[in-house]
Structure 1
Amino acid sequence: MGVGVSNWRLARAVSLAGGLGVVSGTALEVVAARRLQCGDEGGHMRRALAAFPFPEMARRMWERFFIPGGKAPSTGFVPLPLPNAAAARLREEWTVVAAFCEVYLAREGHGRPVGFNLLEKIQVPTLCGLFGAMLAGAEVVLMGAGIPRQIPGILDRLAAGEEAVLKLDVQGAETGVHEMRLDPRTWGEGPLPELRRPLFLGIVGSSTLAQALARKASGRVDGFVVEGQEAGGHNAPPRGGGTRTAEGEPVYGPRDRPDLAAFRALGRPFWLAGGYGRPGRLAAARAEGAQGIQAGTIFAFCEESGITPEIKRRVLAESRAGTLRVFTDPEASPTGFPFKIVRLAGSMAEAAVAARRGRVCDLGFLRTLALCQGKLVHRCPGEPVEDYLAKGGAAVETVGRICVCNGLLGTIGLGQVRLGEREPCLVTAGQDAEELGAWFPAALGGYAAAEAVECLMEGMKA
């Protein structure tokens, strides 16, 4: 869905409607800090911070970022230090506190389960994000965008109150040489609350990956989310080469379709995603042996999601008019993976807008670690080309790249302000966004998460 789209409001609404509401954990420390700088409308962050088990830590975040009444619209947000393998203590604190607050608010006032989602490829904040989510009682952790072999064991150790270690992927270095650690016994500022081990669901695109994860993970894998290429955000690249359509999209074929018989043979529960978040597909998924579906796009544009009301209005209007286009861009993301982009006028989907913005990398979530001349560096193909080359990167890797991190924050109204202008947005959604208008006619205006759940239940017997 992006950054801050599946926020606590949406996760809570989905859980209350009978589903598993999932909080997006990506860049939460930035989202939380910027909410505080916007004045904490409704006092929700204040309420969650008051419940955080280490009060001094919560106080430090509040005092650092909260602005009564909110900052002026023309004023930029206070930046956070970039994510770094040589972790800064305050950055770690903010990551733990932010994850706690989001999950706490999503779980507040009801007994339904809530999940927490992270991306394997964004490793530096992982331990702190998981710890914060577990402090708040997250019942499920979902993780994809890589092979999250280490995560089940990390959940086991954190739940036991023991030190957890995450080995970092570093280009040009031997596996396991570089790592990050978090010991919950010494990390906090008082007695450690009892932590419950969440269920772990791996998000995968193939049965081969699921089998490898089931065999080689560091702990128990409780199930899988099987994601097809129709899903929003990042997609797995197609197997068998770089063939593209006339418009430049990657071409997927039969080999890219998940082998559902192989998933059934694994004997573990699985959910289907990517093209399944539409009316009638839940029944089809159940018929294939799935427990259910994971849906993102249909919820991304509902009333409770973090996307700005204006963007929701425009997407729904264009979908109803039949003019909305979702493009699978093989080059835009600094990760090198195909990335779904909604082609909205004035957004970073337009080459002219992205070019005018220029290359500024001041969030750094998609930076990768590499050894350059014996030193550990963080580099991103979306940063200024000369900076990337100086860190040992190849020029060809920078072609077509845009700043996904800043663009996604712009989509939820928390884009940085530079020289009086707010960052342009970048909207990601699955292919289903093109059909939203058919499911929610114009007479309805917008729609709530509960209505989206009802829409997805079509075809299910009472």
Structure 2
Amino acid sequence: MPAALTDTLRRAPHAPSSAERANRTRPTVIQGGMGVAVSGWRLAREVSRAGQLGVISGTAMDAVLARRLQDGDEGGHYRRALAHFPSPAMAERVLRRYFIEGGRHPDAPYKPLPKLTIDTARASQELAVVGNFAEVWLAKEGHDGVVGTNCLEKIQMATPTAILGAMLAGVDYVLMGAGIPREVPQLLRALAAGEVGRIPVDVSGSTVHRFVEVDPVALLGDDLPPLTRPDFLAIVSLDQLASYLHRDPEIRPDGFIVERPPAGGHSAPPRGRMQLDERGAPVYGARDEADLGKMAAIGLPFWMAGAYGTPDQVASAVRAGAVGVQVGTLFALSSDSGLTRAGRTTILDGLRSGELAVRNDPRASPTGFPFKVVSAEGTVSDDEVYAARPRLCDLSYLRQPYERADGTVGYRCAAEPVHMFEKKGGSVEDTVGRKCLCNGLVATVGMAQHRKDGYVEDRIVTLGEDLEGARELLARHPDGWTAVQALVYLMEAVSGDAGP
């Protein structure tokens, strides 16, 4: 490892023991894992230092690390984290491939990344493990607060390496939704034991059981340190799913986040036949709300999410039996989030003028789950911007594996070129309105891909539909607010101290 990387080392993050995990106080506020690096290490660190649960987004951390390094790693933060990675040789391989002293030319394309597959190549596994390690390590640096990572069940092929990387950095919580995360508890147990961690992969049209896995010993060898199993919080929308996961000790989580339909990012589709309102958004009803009495009766701690972004809503959740709440929007709009300054300013201007709108788009995500999209000029929510984008799929995190006629596995995405999707057995109607969330979300945090033909990827922004708390914070802090100011606001109506 180059000596320059060790010149400014700080105290390594603290990895809690099993006894410490069992006795620690549960947070009242969980900062939601919004977008790709919107909930980055700076935001999670501020929330964690203030005594609550700071959460990094565990999605696309390989792309985030690779692109930050290609941009010169301003401040040397990621190189500082990599200097603490348990395998110096692996960290050095990542640095050698991606780090550019002084940063790439602003118009130069980022290097392509290896795509996720069921049998992911070693170089791809290493980048994912190191990327997730670095983000969690930086979030935990210099304090003893708790930090979590948020992953999507829909991105199954990335899950084992993402969680291994986070565990190597001593992550305290793993949060997962956008599906039924029944396999995660066993994955955590296996990795904590230093064993191969694997989860099944949904392969469309296949009757063969296939798995994606990561082998900690094969990747790190003698450099593999002891690992501690983090707590697992399953993100659910209904008490029935929570009851199902609780019933079997093998798949039982340590707690739940009950996410209501207004929450940002992906949300569960309505139960029954899909109906749309006048804005083209899914209509939710009483059947789509969890019974909080039944949630409390399960006996595991739970937090409420989705329109719980005011002090009164936090107090209401606690009265209903919840430990607290998960909040995304207030933190995504804080000055500590990964949104670019220009992007945040545009959104706050819209909030100030009353023109900011968030639509639950049933077509945006290639996954088929509804996805909250901020309507803003110059972003992919604009029909003209969407139409001008050449359809392609290069980051490919949301690709769906499918079985070909010969029994082999292929990969397709409803946001890729229509003729390619059709050729792979996909339906044309499934491509209508689909947006490239991967590139759009990465662009939102200032790492837009520049194509060789001159095209630059545009942003797509996600927030929750409930903006009441954001409006109140903007009234109090006209120039914007910090993560700690958001915490102080949220904690006003409940006992406890959110920090300084």
Alignment check: 8 A CA contact 2:309 2:468 kept: no
Aligned mate of 2:77, from 37, 44, 62? 44
Aligned to 2:283: 251
Aligned to 2:345: 313
Aligned mate of 1:159, from 185, 192, 207? 192
Aligned to 1:5: 38
Aligned mate of 1:351, from 357, 377, 383? 383
Aligned to 1:376: 409
Aligned mate of 1:210, from 231, 242, 245? 242
Instruction: Return the alpha-carbon distance in structure 2 between the equivalents of residues 13 and 443 of structure 1.
Output: 18
Aligned to 1:32: 65
- SS for the counterpart of 2:366 is coil
Aligned to 1:90: 123
The answer to whether 1:402 aligns with 2:435 is yes
Aligned residue pairs total 461
Q: Shift of the alpha carbon at 1:192?
A: 1.7
Letter in 1 for 2:480: G
Decide whether aligned partners of structure 1 residues 139 and 442 sit closer, same or farther in structure 2, where only a CA change above 3 A counts.
closer
- SS for the counterpart of 1:428 is coil
Decide whether aligned partners of structure 1 residues 86 and 461 sit closer, same or farther in structure 2, where only a CA change above 3 A counts.
closer
Letter in 2 for 1:196: T
Aligned to 2:486: 452
Instruction: Return the alpha-carbon distance in structure 2 between the equivalents of residues 434 and 309 of structure 1.
Output: 22
Letter in 2 for 1:432: D
Cα distance per residue 1:88-134 (max 9 Å; x no partner): 11000000000100000000000011001110110111111111110
Instruction: Return the alpha-carbon distance in structure 2 between the equivalents of residues 73 and 218 of structure 1.
Output: 49
Decide whether aligned partners of structure 1 residues 199 and 443 sit closer, same or farther in structure 2, where only a CA change above 3 A counts.
closer
Q: Shift of the alpha carbon at 1:397?
A: 1.0
Aligned to 2:28: none
Aligned to 1:429: 463
- SS for the counterpart of 1:97 is helix
Cα distance per residue 1:52-75 (max 9 Å; x no partner): 000010001011011111111111
Instruction: Return the alpha-carbon distance in structure 1 between the equivalents of residues 126 and 223 of structure 2.
Output: 16
The within-5 A match list for 1:69-218 is: 69-174=102-207, 177-216=209-248, 218=250
Q: Shift of the alpha carbon at 1:458?
A: 2.0
Cα distance per residue 1:406-459 (max 9 Å; x no partner): 001111011101233421100000013465233222853021100010111121
- SS for the counterpart of 2:63 is helix
Instruction: Return the alpha-carbon distance in structure 1 between the equivalents of residues 432 and 476 of structure 2.
Output: 40
Instruction: Return the alpha-carbon distance in structure 2 between the equivalents of residues 20 and 372 of structure 1.
Output: 43
Q: TM-score, normalised by structure 2?
A: 0.90
Alignment check: 8 A CA contact 1:149 1:217 kept: no
Decide whether aligned partners of structure 1 residues 125 and 461 sit closer, same or farther in structure 2, where only a CA change above 3 A counts.
closer
Instruction: Return the alpha-carbon distance in structure 1 between the equivalents of residues 97 and 195 of structure 2.
Output: 30
The within-5 A match list for 1:214-225 is: 214-216=246-248, 218-225=250-257
Aligned to 1:265: 297
Q: Shift of the alpha carbon at 1:189?
A: 4.0
Instruction: Return the alpha-carbon distance in structure 1 between the equivalents of residues 119 and 253 of structure 2.
Output: 29
4+ runs of 1 displaced by more than 4 Å? none
Instruction: Return the alpha-carbon distance in structure 1 between the equivalents of residues 223 and 469 of structure 2.
Output: 51
Unaligned runs of 5+ in 1: none
Aligned to 1:57: 90
Identity across matched positions, percent = 49
Q: TM-score, normalised by structure 1?
A: 0.97
Cα distance per residue 1:163-221 (max 9 Å; x no partner): 2222111111126x211222222221423211001001100000111111122463441
Alignment check: 8 A CA contact 2:302 2:324 kept: yes
- SS for the counterpart of 2:233 is strand
Cα distance per residue 1:21-52 (max 9 Å; x no partner): 01110001001100001100000011000000
Instruction: Return the alpha-carbon distance in structure 2 between the equivalents of residues 191 and 80 of structure 1.
Output: 25
Greater mean alpha carbon deviation, residues 333-342 or residues 437-446 = 437-446
Greater mean alpha carbon deviation, residues 240-249 or residues 100-109 = 240-249
Aligned mate of 2:475, from 427, 432, 441? 441
Aligned to 1:340: 372
Letter in 2 for 1:454: V
Instruction: Return the alpha-carbon distance in structure 1 between the equivalents of residues 50 and 114 of structure 2.
Output: 38
Instruction: Return the alpha-carbon distance in structure 1 between the equivalents of residues 477 and 470 of structure 2.
Output: 13
Aligned to 2:309: 277
Letter in 2 for 1:259: D
Decide whether aligned partners of structure 1 residues 402 and 434 sit closer, same or farther in structure 2, where only a CA change above 3 A counts.
farther
Greater mean alpha carbon deviation, residues 327-336 or residues 430-439 = 430-439
Q: Shift of the alpha carbon at 1:260?
A: 0.6
